Each structure stands twice: as structure tokens, then as C-alpha cells.
Structure 1
Amino acid sequence: MAETVVAHHDSTRMMRQATYAAVAVAMVLVVIKLGAYWVTGSVAMLSTLIDSVLDVAASFINLLAVRAALTPADREHRFGHGKAEPLAGLGQAAFITGSALFLAVESIRLLWAPQPVTNGALGIGVMGVSILLTLALVYYQRIVIRKTGSLAISADSLHYTGDVLVNLGVIVALGLSTFWGWSLADPLFALAIAAYILRNAWQIIFHSLNQLMDRELPEEERAQITQLALSHPEVLDFHDLRTRAAGQDLFIQFHLGVEGQLSLQRAHQIGKEVEAKVLNIFPQAEIIIHHDPMDKNEEDSGGRINF
């Protein structure tokens, strides 16, 4: 969940700006890394160039997905378009996996036939600039994630954070190859980077599939919903809690047990009061409450809590 609640309009604006920033930074990195690879011939530099090329494609997909996810619900999509975000995450994972496998094959080839790196100092300078630009982007993305809880921006930020480590690895590889003459450092570091990229891809796949398969919210958040509902003095029972997420949107439904002799109007008011408590903590949630009439004597057992 987002740590800081922001208005829906501000959330939408921040998410869109984050996607534009990611595409812009990735395009700049492709240009400068292409020039660096041209003059160095380093496979480690090639690895980070490939990663940035795929970043452009992945971030552009992310941009389209976020725009779709922020589209309001309509007649054909009554629950909104939030699942465009995890779909974008799977698309990003496919791009990232493809780049990692290509890089691994190229690295293994160069382990058998190492090639010297030229103009390594220039390559190191380019990597330094890349790290600064990527860190600035990741910092901004983290701000957006804290305020919006966006899965798509989280996935984007995850692989850009990996890019920082990738670029640091390239600097080490270039330094060892250029100043110490260890030609195997270049493909070895590239191979390690490929493994790291694959790990990032799996994390994105895992989180995206959780949303697409309507996985329940984490247990601590479900327990928080339960506690909020049972804190109302007129709620006798709480059960059948069901939750799922779709992008920024949360869907929560549960049954409340209330005294059977209450008027329909009062039972409805209790539900609205419980709903307000939950919305205070989960402002993006759509909540459905079913009321069950109960004998007040059942309260003596402490009520029934069934997840």
C-alpha cells in the first residue's frame, strides 16, 4: 500500500510523469552507451547497452499500460482497467528475460575467445554519467511509488535499480580489463549481470501474476481490515473476507453480523461507519459489505472471525 495518501488527480499526474521520465532517461542512456560501446568494444558495455534498449521498449509499454490502467471504469470494464499494470509487468519481464539470455550467450562465447577492451577510461566515464541519471530516475520513482502504490512503476523502478548495480559492475569490469589487463573480467561480469537481470525478471513475474490471479492482500493488511471492522461496538461477527488488487485499485468484501432486531436503516449505517474506517486506511478500495442478522446472545462467544 502507498505510505502517503494523495488525491486521485495528483496520483494520476505523478504516475504519468514517472512513465515519461523513464522513457526519456532510457533514450538518453541508449545514445551515450551506444557511443561508448562503439569505441570500447566491451561486452560488458554491450550488456548495459542492450539493457537500456530494452528499457526504452519496456518503459514505453509501461507508459501505455499506466494510461490504460488510469482510465475510469466503463460499461465494458465495470471493475476498471487496473490489471493493465500487471500485464505491463509481464511484458517487461519478457523483455528483460530476452536481454539476459542474449547477454549470457554472448558472454559465454567471449569466455572462450576473450577480446581486449579499448578506450576503457571513456567507457568508465559514460557509466558514471549513466549511474547518476539512473539514480535520479529511481529516486523520483520511489517517491511516486510511496504516494501511489503503483505496481507498474514499482516494476519499472526495480529494473532501473538493477541497472545501477549493472553499471557499477561494468565499471569494475572495464577497470580490470583496461588497467590490469584481465580480459576475462569483461565476459565474467557480463555473465553475472545476466544472472542478476534474470532474478529481477522473476520478481516482476511473481508480483504481476499475484495480481492477475487475484491473490489475497498480505495477511497483515487482512488482519488490519478485520480489526477495523470488529472495533465497531455494534458489529457482532465478521467473516468471509475477500480481497484482491488490480493496479492501484483494491476490492474488499466481507460479511458483518449485526443484531437481527436492528432496523435496515441502522444496519446500513453501521456498514457505512465500518466502510469509512477501512477507507481511511485503504483509500483506493471499493468495499462491498453483506449484513447478516444475528441473535445478540451470540456476542458472548466473541463473534465469529472466518477468513
Structure 2
Amino acid sequence: MTDQGNGIVARLAFWGIPLAFGVMGLKLVAWWVTGSVALLSDGLESTVNVVAAFIAYFVIRYARKPADDDHPYGHHKAEYLSAVLEGVLIVIAALLIIREAVGALADPQLLDAPVLGLAINGVAGLINLVWARALIRIGRTHRSPALAADGHHIMSDVVTSAGVFVGLVLVVVTGYAILDPVLAILVAINIIYQGWKVISHSVAGLMDKAVEPEEEAAIKAAIAQNSAGSLDVHYLRTRRGGAVTFVAFDLVVPGNMPVSEAHKICDRLEAAVKAVLPGGRVTIHVEPESETAHGVRVGVGAKAKEQN
């Protein structure tokens, strides 16, 4: 990631803190004026947003630190830890909502000042919608798992707010107070699902999952088109560490090729891979032609045409 990209991600993470406080305040006011359990559940989820915003800000700053002697590959994976923690917080918030809603099922109450409460909550939901879309877009563009996870979390909050709004309108129109806690439970189930998605995606990153098939195909094409002078490429491995993608493979060259010539091929291949993966880290192991091919193979020259 470029220094400009780092700056954009860090600024968004910072401004997420006061914005999360503001949205939480609006939702708690909406609950206070109505007494709605569903609005309380929405407010509880927003308190998690505040904690998550703090975590995301500090973890993103740490993850952007350059590599050092103790962390030669950088600190990028710290963002996955932040995303896992955020997913856990989402699930905890959902369980708290269910507890409140189950208690309210025994004694459902009609809402106080429903129009005012819904209006306040609607404003908070619109703010969250704009902010979540920005976080997800920037998080994907600059490959920030923590920022993207924060955006998906807030987007789940938007879905929650929309469901609460529709449900409470039905409560007001029909007079069925029990719809309020029932709605809160449905909202909580959706929140648990969103939390699980955040956790599973982040765990995949921590476990060094390979890049998506489309990206691997682009890497293979870049290698095949820029491997002139070599005999074979095999043992291709990829993994993603936060904003950085790591690529490694073995390059087979004639046994009598000078080291300087093999080095030129490696430089050309490294530049080609980085062209399709900006900010990527490429490691190439050079082998003589007597070595046996192993691992994922990438055709070169005529072999590449045959594979395609």
C-alpha cells in the first residue's frame, strides 16, 4: 500500500471514533423517548461500534508500521486480529439483545412518542449507511481487513435500523406491542450471522489462505508472459497478510546460465507480478533444470500456450 493509501485508511479509522459516539448517542436518545426494546437493541449494537472504532484505529496504525528485526514480514496480520475481535463483539451484542427481548416478551409495552423516536433513529441509520459504504469501499481498495470489517459491521447496523424502523411502524399501526421484542430477537439473529461472516473471513487470513482464483490466474498470466529465458516455473504459493499479498515460486533455468542472467529474469518477473498486485511481495527460488518440478505449475513460453 502507498503512503497516501495508508494516510487515507488511518484518517477514516480516526474519524470513525467520534462518528460512532454520535450515532450511539442518537440511538440511545431514540430508545429513551420511546422505551422500545428494539431501539434499545439497536443502541446496544452501536455501543459495540464505538469499541470497534477504537480498536480499528489503533490496530490499523500498528499494522502499517514497517517491517523490523522482530517482524521481518511486517505487522499486517494485526488487522485480522482486530477483525476477529470485532466479530466476537458483534455476537456478544446480539446475545445481550436477545436477553433483553426475551424479558420483554412476558410484558410487552406500547411505545411512547414513537414518531420522534423513529425519526431520530432514522437519521442515525442514514449516517451509518453513508459511512459504512465509504469504509467498505476504501477498505477493499486499500486492502485493509480491519477497515472493511468495521464497514461490514456498521452495514449490519444499518440493516438492523431498517428492520427496526419497519417493525416499529407496524407496532404503531397495529397496536401489537409484542412485535417489538419479537423484532428485537430477529434483529439479533441477523447480527449473529454478520458477526460470523466477519470472523470466518478474518480467520481465513490468519491461516494464510491463498488468493482468490481470479487473482491467481492474473499472477500466472504475468509470470508466463515474462519468463523468457527460463525453462519452467512451479511451486507457486500465495497468501494474503492484510494489505499485502505474498507470492513465491520456483524458477527453473538452464544449469549453465550465469547468475546475472537468472537475476535479470527474476527482476522482470517480480516487476510483472507487482504490476497486477500493487504492493505485493515476491520471492523467487532459482533452480537448475536437473531439479524435479513440484507444487503448482505455471507454464512458460510454448508450455503456457498449451495450458491456455
Q: TM-score if structure 2 supplies the norm length?
A: 0.91
What's the secondary structure of 1:35's corresponding residue?
A: helix
Aligned match of 2:39 in 32, 38, 45? 45
Aligned sequence identity (%): 32
2: CA distance, partners of 1:204 / 1:114? 33
Displacement of 1:300 in angstroms is 9.7
**Does the alignment pair 1:241 with 2:236?**
yes
In 1, Cα distance between the equivalents of 2:133 and 2:200? 23
| CA displacement at 1:142 relative to structure 2 | 3.3
Mean Cα deviation higher: 189-198 or 102-111: 102-111
Number of equivalenced pairs: 296
Matched with 2:26 is 32
Other-structure match for 2:287: 292
Q: Does 1:255 align with 2:250?
A: yes
Q: Which residue of 1 aligns with 2:13?
A: 19
Shift of 1:193: 0.8
User: Counterparts of 1:293 and 1:216 in 2: how far apart (Å)?
Assistant: 27
**Are 1:154 and 2:152 counterparts?**
no
8 Å contact kept, 2:105–2:182: yes
Gaps of 5+ in 1: 1-6
Q: Retained in 1: the 8 A contact 2:45–2:93?
A: yes
- For structure 2, list consecutive stretches of 5 or more residues without a partner in the other structure: 294-299
- 1:275 corresponds, among 266, 270, 273, to 270
TM-superposed CA distance for 1:301, in Å, is 8.6
Which residue matches 2:297?
Answer: none
Residue 179 of structure 1, CA deviation? 2.9
**Is the 8 Å Cα contact of residues 100 and 198 (structure 1) preserved in structure 2?**
yes
Decide which of 131, 136, 139 is 1:137's aligned counterpart: 131
| Kept in 2: contact 1:21–1:137 (CA 8 A) | no
Instruction: Tell me the residue number matched to 1:4.
Output: none
Q: TM-score, normalised by structure 1?
A: 0.91
Query: Which AA in structure 2 matches 1:136?
Result: V
Separation (CA, whole Å) in 1 of partners of 2:38 and 2:11: 31
* 1:62 and 2:56 are equivalent in the alignment: yes
The answer for the alignment partner of 2:209 in structure 1 is 215
Match of 1:117 in 2: 111
Measured in 2, the distance between the counterparts of 1:49 and 1:146 equals 27
> How far apart are the structure 2 equivalents of 1:300 and 1:252?
21
Between 232-241 and 12-21, the greater mean CA deviation after superposition: 232-241
Q: Do 1:127 and 1:168's aligned partners in 2 also have CA atoms closer than 8 Å?
A: no
